[in-house]
């Protein structure tokens, strides 16, 4: 049975305070100082979420490239200059640092956030849309990984740019990219065995993200709806993996294991729906429909086994882990910084 694709998560941008930049103190060898000053002012708007994400990405990338072309590190010439950025998930928290590396890392974070917004906004009802979303989620994953690497030498920062948050966001974006691959596999008529492997890998990525979200320092830092959505997605894709594997088992007349796998998947959905509060309604609807489909298959398998096969039903604890296959990767920093604008051209 066809089910509408479940919703995806996107990352909000970090906001920044204005920074006073002067040619004579900060960028005295920059040929385009006014461009640098104006580009930062364009990035530092009060409500970046109100602008289209593709336009935001173009503005951020332009400022990032201008900083690299300037060659000067303004913080080396002015002890009073610092860059202030707010936590993306707790905007009342902020960090100021006299560090151009911190400024660049915050920009890369926002490039990742914009990519996630672009990806989440794509309609995944078409092959073109799901492919585009998959690519943007992989760019977002690479951006957040790069943030973690860039911040290794920084003494302190807000939680959203910590090594734990960077790793969690990378896994989450990979999970959503892998989810797109699962949708493509289903739409493309791939075998149940292949679909099961792709779903299982999505579940593993979601499980890794969820484990980080419920452990310090990320615990209680993100909205409950975020945590619940990641938790429920992990259960759903474990269930999808069981469901697709069960279809393959049914074709091979391995009815005993089929029944066991279906029961494991159904239990995963039921148990998680009981504890994952605050996730979007469409996600609960997806879970309920998947549960219904699996229960129908379970009833059929049990009836056939009772009337025809009489296979022993293995215990859930005796089942081997399902195989997984990753079809995604985090984009490189060069790929991220060469992202196209909504018109299909590179940012200037």
Over 60: is that where the pLDDT of 347 sits?
A: no
- 218-269, pLDDT tens digit by residue? 999 999 999 999 999 999 999 999 999 999 999 999 999 999 999 999 999 9
**CA pair distance 237, 212, nearest whole angstrom:** 18
- H or E segment to which residue 83 belongs: strand 83-86
> Under the phi-then-psi rule, with left for phi > 0, alpha for psi from -120 to 50, and beta for the rest, what region is 72?
beta
Range 118-132 average pLDDT: 96
pLDDT band at 124 (very low <50, low <70, confident <90, very high): very high
pLDDT of 345 = 36
User: Among positive and negative, which fits the CA dihedral 304, 307, 312, 313?
Assistant: positive
- 7-28, pLDDT tens digit by residue? 999 999 999 998 877 766 666 6
pLDDT of 34 = 84
Over 50: is that where the pLDDT of 111 sits?
A: yes
Q: Where are the domains of the chain?
A: 1-163, 190-331
- Residue 160 is classified by DSSP as G
Average pLDDT, the chain: 92
pLDDT band at 299 (very low <50, low <70, confident <90, very high): very high
- How many Cα atoms within 13 Å fall on the side-chain side of residue 201? 21
Over 80: is that where the pLDDT of 110 sits?
A: yes
Range 275-302 average pLDDT: 95
Asked if 188 and 130 touch (Cβ cutoff 8 Å), the reply is no
Task: Provide the 10 A C-beta neighbour count for residue 4.
Answer: 11
Residues 6+ apart with CB under 8 A from 334: none
Asked if 154 and 101 touch (Cβ cutoff 8 Å), the reply is yes
Asked if 179 and 283 touch (Cβ cutoff 8 Å), the reply is no
pLDDT of 81 = 82
3-state SS assignment for residue 16:
strand
pLDDT of 154 = 85
- 81-104, pLDDT tens digit by residue? 889 999 999 999 999 998 889 999
pLDDT of 16 = 96
pLDDT of 246 = 98
Over 80: is that where the pLDDT of 346 sits?
A: no
- 313-332, pLDDT tens digit by residue? 999 999 999 999 999 999 99
pLDDT band at 343 (very low <50, low <70, confident <90, very high): very low
Q: Which fold has domain 190-331?
A: 1.25.40
Does 254 or 78 have the greater pLDDT score? 254
Range 147-158 average pLDDT: 91
Cα maximum dimension of the chain: 88
Over 70: is that where the pLDDT of 184 sits?
A: yes
pLDDT of 322 = 98
Over 60: is that where the pLDDT of 214 sits?
A: yes
**Superfamily of domain 1-163, CATH level 4:** alix/aip1 like domains (1.25.40.280)
**CA pair distance 90, 217, nearest whole angstrom:** 13
Q: Could you tell me which of 45, 169, 36 has the C-alpha nearest to residue 115?
A: 169
- By percentage, how much of the chain surpasses pLDDT 90? 80
Over 90: is that where the pLDDT of 69 sits?
A: no
- 19-59, pLDDT tens digit by residue? 877 766 666 665 677 888 899 999 999 898 899 999 999 99
């Amino acid at each position: 049975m066809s089910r509408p694709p479940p919703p995806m998560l996107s990352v909000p941008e970090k906001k920044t305070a204005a920074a006073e930049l002067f040619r004579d103190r900060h960028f005295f060898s920059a040929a385009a100082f006014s461009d640098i000053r104006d580009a930062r002012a364009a990035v530092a708007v009060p409500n970046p979420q109100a602008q289209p994400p593709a336009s935001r990405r173009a503005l951020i990338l332009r400022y990032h490239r201008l900083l690299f072309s300037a060659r000067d590190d303004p913080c080396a010439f002015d002890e009073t200059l610092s860059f202030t950025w707010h936590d993306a998930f707790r905007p009342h928290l902020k960090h100021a640092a006299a560090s151009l590396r911190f400024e660049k890392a915050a920009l890369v974070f926002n490039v990742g956030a914009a990519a996630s917004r672009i990806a989440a906004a794509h309609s995944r009802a078409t092959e073109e849309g799901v492919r585009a979303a998959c690519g943007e989620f992989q760019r977002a994953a690479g951006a957040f990984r790069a943030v973690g690497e860039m911040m290794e030498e920084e003494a302190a920062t807000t939680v959203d740019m910590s090594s734990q948050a960077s790793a969690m966001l990378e896994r989450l974006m990979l999970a959503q990219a892998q989810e797109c691959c699962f949708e493509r596999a289903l739409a493309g008529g791939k075998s149940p065995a292949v679909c099961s492997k792709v779903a299982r890998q999505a579940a593993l990525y979601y499980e890794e993200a969820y484990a980080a979200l419920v452990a310090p320092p990320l615990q209680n830092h993100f909205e409950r709806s975020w945590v619940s959505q990641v938790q429920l997605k992990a259960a759903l894709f474990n269930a999808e993996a069981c469901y697709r594997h069960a279809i393959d088992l049914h074709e091979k007349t391995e009815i005993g294991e089929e029944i066991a796998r279906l029961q494991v998947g159904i239990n995963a959905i039921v148990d998680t729906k009981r504890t994952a509060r605050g996730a979007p309604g469409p996600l609960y609807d997806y879970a309920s429909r998947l549960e219904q489909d699996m229960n129908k298959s379970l009833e059929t398998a049990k009836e056939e086994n009772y009337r025809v096969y009489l296979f022993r039903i293995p215990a859930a604890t005796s089942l081997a882990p399902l195989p997984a296959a990753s079809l995604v990767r985090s984009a490189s920093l060069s790929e991220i910084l060469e992202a196209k604008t909504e018109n299909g051209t590179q940012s200037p």
